[in-house]
């Protein structure tokens, strides 16, 4: 292999740039020509290729988002779209791919490399931390820190006005951000997609806090909570519990952005480095992941095989005890 392309796909995540930098510089170190593909699979179809050298990735480590841009590409899901992408890669002489993205990106990579003779190694880049095969995904740490910062700020105003705040955070299927940010931010309650929390139970937690003269309360609601999000939860709580003035804050896309934490910069660098080394060692259809404090490879098929994602038992147990 002497020509490798790298791209980002699906939702952007802080740390993707650190990973792109590591991929490009590692490839060059080992004598490869490096190419960036803009806008993920869409760029393969539209021939949006850019040559990358050491300087193309200077000064990007600290930037959020992705310098290669990202996209969701419907055409790549079709046989014709994949064929077009393959012909374009062949024309460029690209012999291997590093794909940075979430499970949709991995599914596309698996299908593509099953069909065509282009090896692919994937890096898990998503703030949701919901992929099997890595203890942490790229961007999760930064997103959690962003949420904690927001909780701290909201706590100031909640405390000054004796208010109850419902803060909605990202996590449609996985409550990783909600659980960790909730614990680190000292939230009084955390509502997760993984756990059915009855409104009556939430109210009794809040009543207990009020009886103990808590002057403010913060409830973290993951967007995938089964009660239908922060506005619905707040409305239903308010009907029966009006001890506090109640407010709702939806953090939304600000959780995606920002300069990556040192953890995500290092993780992105390690994963990018490992992805190129894996390709050069003849690997394909693998995902790079963090296991304990070691980088390990998992078969894409295994990573995608629908293992049930599980939040840590101790975090689940302590979240209500420490609140
Ligand atoms: P995030 O977790 O942040 O949403 P993701 O990688 O899961 O990231 P998706 O939009 O699901 O984001 O997938 C990214 C792209 O991967 C899609 O836009 C599409 O181009 C490609 N893709 C997804 N599923 C398939 C598939 N079954 N076949 C081919 N390509 C696919």
Please give the Cα distance from 139 to 248 (Å, whole number).
25
DSSP strand pairing (286-291 vs 294-299): antiparallel
Section 163-175 average pLDDT: 95
The predicted pLDDT at position 289 comes to: 97
Query: Where does ligand 1 bind, in terms of residues with CB under 6 Å?
Result: 9-11, 41, 72-73, 76-77, 101-105, 107-108, 111, 126, 128
Section 47-67 average pLDDT: 97
Half-sphere exposure of 80 (CA within 13 A, CB side): 2
The predicted pLDDT at position 308 comes to: 74
Ligand 1 centre from 11 Cα, in Å?
Answer: 9
Test site for ligand 1: of 16, 45, 104, most ligand atoms within 8 A of the Cβ = 104
Which residues, at least 6 apart from 21, have a Cβ–Cβ distance to it below 8 Å?
Answer: 57, 60, 61, 268, 269, 272
Q: Please measure the distance between the N-terminal and C-terminal CA atoms of the chain and give it in whole angstroms.
A: 53
The predicted pLDDT at position 214 comes to: 81
Q: Is 78 left (phi over 0), alpha (psi -120 to 50) or beta?
A: beta
> How far is CA 270 from each of CA 20, 177, 238, rounded to the nearest angstrom?
11, 22, 47
Please give the Cα distance from 265 to 63 (Å, whole number).
10
215 is in an annotated binding site: yes
Please give the Cα distance from 189 to 11 (Å, whole number).
28
Q: Which atom of ligand 1 is nearest to the CA of 72?
A: 18
The predicted pLDDT at position 309 comes to: 75
Is 128 in the active site? yes
Ligand 1 centre from 124 Cα, in Å?
Answer: 12
What share of the chain has pLDDT > 70, as a percent? Answer: 100
Ligand 1 centre from 287 Cα, in Å?
Answer: 15
Token pair recorded at residue 17 = 């740039």
Element (H, E) at 50: strand 49-52
Please give the Cα distance from 322 to 290 (Å, whole number).
28
Which of 119, 116, 107 shows the shortest CA–CA distance to 3? 119
Residue 65 has pLDDT above 80, yes or no: yes
Token pair recorded at residue 252 = 């939304």
Place of tokens 């993205």: 101
Which of 314, 316, 288 shows the shortest CA–CA distance to 136? 288
The predicted pLDDT at position 159 comes to: 86
The predicted pLDDT at position 20 comes to: 98
292 is in an annotated binding site: no
The predicted pLDDT at position 55 comes to: 96
Please give the Cα distance from 292 to 36 (Å, whole number).
30
Residue 173 has pLDDT above 80, yes or no: yes
DSSP strand pairing (49-52 vs 33-37): antiparallel
Cα Rg, the chain, nearest whole Å: 22
Contact (Cβ atoms closer than 8 angstroms) between residue 97 and residue 4: yes
171 is in an annotated binding site: yes
Test site for ligand 1: of 10, 80, 99, most ligand atoms within 8 A of the Cβ = 10
List the residue whose alpha carbon is closest to atom 2 of ligand 1.
Answer: 102
Q: What tens digit of pLDDT does each residue of 297-311 get?
A: 999 999 998 777 789
Residue 136 has pLDDT above 80, yes or no: yes
The predicted pLDDT at position 267 comes to: 98
The predicted pLDDT at position 243 comes to: 82
Asked if ipTM goes beyond 0.95, one says yes
Which of 12, 128, 130, 264 is catalytic? The answer is 128
3-state SS class at 226: coil
DSSP strand pairing (294-299 vs 120-124): unpaired
Q: What tens digit of pLDDT does each residue of 235-290 get?
A: 999 999 888 889 999 999 999 999 999 999 999 999 999 999 999 999 999 999 99
The predicted pLDDT at position 320 comes to: 85
The predicted pLDDT at position 66 comes to: 98
Residue 112 has pLDDT above 90, yes or no: yes
Cα dihedral: 305, 309, 312, 315 (round 10):
170
The predicted pLDDT at position 216 comes to: 82
Could you please report the per-residue DSSP string of 293-310? Answer: TEEEEEEHHHHTS-PPP-
Token pair recorded at residue 312 = 């840590």
Q: What tens digit of pLDDT does each residue of 78-89 get?
A: 999 999 999 999
The predicted pLDDT at position 213 comes to: 82
Q: What tens digit of pLDDT does each residue of 175-229 get?
A: 999 999 999 999 999 999 999 999 999 999 999 988 888 888 999 999 999 999 9
Ligand 1 centre from 302 Cα, in Å?
Answer: 17
Q: Quickly count: other Cβ atoms within 10 Å of residue 186's Cβ.
A: 13
Section 142-148 average pLDDT: 98
Q: Which atom of ligand 1 is nearest to the CA of 103?
A: 7
Section 21-27 average pLDDT: 98
95 is in an annotated binding site: no
Section 24-47 average pLDDT: 98
């Amino acid at each position: 292999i002497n020509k490798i392309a790298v791209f980002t796909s699906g939702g952007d995540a802080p740390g993707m740039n650190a990973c792109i930098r590591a991929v490009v510089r590692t490839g060059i170190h080992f004598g490869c020509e490096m190419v960036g593909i803009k806008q993920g699979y869409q760029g393969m179809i539209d021939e949006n290729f850019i040559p990358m050298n050491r300087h193309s990735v200077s000064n990007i480590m600290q930037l959020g988002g992705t310098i290669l841009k990202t996209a969701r590409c419907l055409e790549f899901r079709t046989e014709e779209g994949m064929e077009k992408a393959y012909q374009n890669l062949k024309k460029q002489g690209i012999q291997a791919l590093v794909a940075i993205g979430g499970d949709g990106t991995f599914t596309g990579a698996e299908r593509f490399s099953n069909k065509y003779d282009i090896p692919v190694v994937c890096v898990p880049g998503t703030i949701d931390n919901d992929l099997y095969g890595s203890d942490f995904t790229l961007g999760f740490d930064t997103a959690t820190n962003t949420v904690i910062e927001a909780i701290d700020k909201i706590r100031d105003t909640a405390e000054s006005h004796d208010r109850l705040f419902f803060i909605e955070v990202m996590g449609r299927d996985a409550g990783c951000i909600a659980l960790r940010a909730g614990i680190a931010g000292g939230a009084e309650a955390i509502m997760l997609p993984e756990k059915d929390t009855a409104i009556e139970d939430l109210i009794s937690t809040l009543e207990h806090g009020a009886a103990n003269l808590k002057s403010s309360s913060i409830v973290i609601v993951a967007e995938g909570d089964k009660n239908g999000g922060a506005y619905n939860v707040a409305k239903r709580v308010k009907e029966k519990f009006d001890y506090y003035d109640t407010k709702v804050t939806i953090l939304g896309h600000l959780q995606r952005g920002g300069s990556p934490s040192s953890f995500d910069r290092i993780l992105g660098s390690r994963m990018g480095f490992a992805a190129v080394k894996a390709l050069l060692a003849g690997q394909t259809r693998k995902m790079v992941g963090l296991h304990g404090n070691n980088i390990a490879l998992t078969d894409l098929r295994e990573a995608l095989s629908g293992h049930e994602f599980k939040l840590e038992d101790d975090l689940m147990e302590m979240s209500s005890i420490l609140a």
